[in-house]
Amino acid sequence: NAGVTQTPKFQVLKTGQSMTLQCAQDMNHEYMSWYRQDPGMGLRLIHYSVGAGITDQGEVPNGYNVSRSTTEDFPLRLLSAAPSQTSVYFCASSYGRGGETQYFGPGTRLLVL
């Protein structure tokens, strides 16, 4: 198993550009989520999904969209990038919710100029 994979590893954007961060898992996990990690702020939940076709907002959803058309993939879209979205983004997945270990991808470093 590849586990949780994320692409790209690093991206530079200009303010106003859009892009999609890709996340995929091959463990047949139902639960997937996106976090952002900022210095002094820890990890904060952006969006999550409890199964294909079901998504919901986390703590910091503004400026981000998600969709879950398949169990394997959970892309995160930045509609109009802002410097405040400069961060490291992590995707995670788990078999279920509540009491299940979440497995994390290697992260995407995003710089918005």
State which of residues 12, 80, 83, 100 lies at the interface with another protein (CB under 8 A): 100
Helix (H) or strand (E) holding 37: strand 31-38
Q: Which residues neighbour 17 within 8 Å (Cβ) at sequence distance 6 or greater?
A: 80, 81
- Closer CB to another protein, 16 or 96, in the complex: 96
CB of 77 to another protein, least distance (A): 20
Q: Could you tell me whether strands 108-112 and 10-13 are parallel, antiparallel, or unpaired per DSSP bridges?
A: parallel
Residues forming contacts to another protein in the complex (CB under 8 A) are 4, 31, 33, 35, 40-45, 48, 50, 56, 58, 90, 92, 94, 96-107, 109
